[in-house]
Amino acid sequence: YTPSLCNLFAKNFYIGAAVTPFTIKQQEELITTHFNSITAENEMKFVSVHPSEDEYTFEKADTLMAFAKENDMHVRGHTLIWHNQTSDWIFENKDGSTPTRDQLLTRMKTHIHKVMGRYKGEIYAWDVVNEAISDKEDEFLRPSKWLEIIGEDFIAKAFEFAREADPHAQLFYNDYNEVNPIKRDKIFKLVQSLKEQGVPIDGIGLQGHWSIYGPSIDLIREAMKKYASLGVRLHVTELDLSVFDHEDKRTDLTKPTNEMLSLQTERYRDIFQLFLEHRTHLESVTFWGAADDYTWLDHFPVRGRKNWPFLFDENHLPKQSFHEIVKLQQKS
Ligand code: G3I
């Protein structure tokens, strides 16, 4: 007998999965059994829903919304303003000139209102701004067209437009490498300053693209404490534990080694133990996929190299890590 992961954690936090129209077909039973929240892996991103100025393409996003509705699942919206997967037209006028700050702000507002408006009341939390902080030590915000044309307040503006568009949706800032102390402190500083300015922000999304080797539980704990001290909610938004170290570019494995799997089991147990410690402000834990047959890590950082980052294997069977997490929850 395999208990349902989301039922087991129902008192603590939602258990989510990033999905696509393809994976909801391939993994339907697994997803509907163990997850009570979904995020569109790509289908709500700018380029997916707003390819040109007067064209909106919501078919795939609508498919995922219908799936959530049918199965009584929550939906996290991902993502409104990002430097990546954003249509070129927004940063270039038809005559080839660069839009002014006001022009770009108008386009930003239109986009946010249109996308959030379509799913108003149906998406309970949105990643309003994604990955705006720089990974470089001596740089605060990541260079992007948003920053270049609008200025630093593009972030505040995005949150303001989002609040107008759906006043009941929770608004998140979402980022990766989020427990690295240098980046963590920058994320903290950004969100603290937004709050001081009265910008409507409700939470911080920790993506959680980690591995079986790191970051340490202490670093994750420190980051969660520090973020929570701002009085915001926390979501883990894109969890996966790569079986490879960042430097490991090996491509010859056709299945994970036993050593990898036992490290992964330990890590998942320790991480979920920590999540349980934070259950008062941690509201949702979303994996960036559902089972090992489909993961973006099969194409990153080495294209075509298989990875096995989840709690369910390529046949959708629970791994040892799943059983450890179940035990944890049963003890608590
Ligand atoms: O849609 C095209 C398709 O038409 C084309 O034939 C194919 C050829 O490569 O590419 C398809 O687009 C790909 C897209 O995923 C949809 O499958 C892109 O090449 C590929 O780059 C894109 O990757 C996505 C990536 O974001 C883009 O940055 C991953 O699936 C997605 O998992 C990943 O998700 C991000 C989060 O949004 C933000 N945080 C990090 C996370 C992982 O990178």
pLDDT confidence band for 246 (50 / 70 / 90): confident
pTM of this prediction? Answer: 0.97
Q: Is the sign of the CA dihedral 66, 67, 69, 70 positive or negative?
A: positive
Active site residue 266: no
- pLDDT tens, residue by residue, 124-140: 999 999 999 999 999 99
pLDDT confidence band for 249 (50 / 70 / 90): confident
How many residues are present in the chain? 332
Distance 82 CA to ligand 1 centre (A): 13
- Interface predicted TM-score (ipTM) of this complex, two decimals: 0.94
Distance 291 CA to ligand 1 centre (A): 18
Q: Is the pLDDT of residue 213 over 80?
A: yes
Using an 8 Å Cβ cutoff, are 111 and 50 in contact? yes
Nearest CA owner, ligand 1 atom 41:
238
| CB of residue 207 inside a 6 A radius of ligand 1 | yes
Using an 8 Å Cβ cutoff, are 89 and 53 in contact? yes
Measured distance CA(61)–CA(80) in Å, rounded? 13
Q: Which two tokens stand for residue 180?
A: 């690295």
Using an 8 Å Cβ cutoff, are 234 and 184 in contact? no
- The residue whose CB lies within 8 Å of the most ligand 1 atoms, and thus the one to mutate among 19, 39, 42, is 42
- pLDDT tens, residue by residue, 264-302: 999 999 999 999 999 999 999 999 999 999 999 999 999
| CB of residue 85 inside a 6 A radius of ligand 1 | yes
**Cβ partners under 8 Å of residue 52, min gap 6:** 87, 89
- pLDDT tens, residue by residue, 148-202: 999 999 999 999 999 999 999 999 999 999 999 999 999 999 999 999 999 999 9
Measured distance CA(124)–CA(265) in Å, rounded? 31
Alpha-helix residue ranges (DSSP H) falling in 230-305: 258-277
- pLDDT tens, residue by residue, 69-110: 999 999 999 999 999 999 999 999 999 999 999 999 999 999
| H or E element at residue 175 | strand 170-175
Cα radius of gyration rounded to whole Å, the chain? 20
Q: How confident is the model at residue 60, as a pLDDT?
A: 98
Q: How confident is the model at residue 329, as a pLDDT?
A: 84
Q: Which CA distances in Å does 25 have to 19, 31, 217?
A: 10, 10, 35
Using an 8 Å Cβ cutoff, are 64 and 35 in contact? no
The active-site residue out of 41, 131, 238, 283 is 238
Please give the biggest Cα pair distance in the chain.
64
Q: How many Cβ atoms are within 10 Å of 151's Cβ, its own excluded?
A: 12
| CB of residue 98 inside a 6 A radius of ligand 1 | no
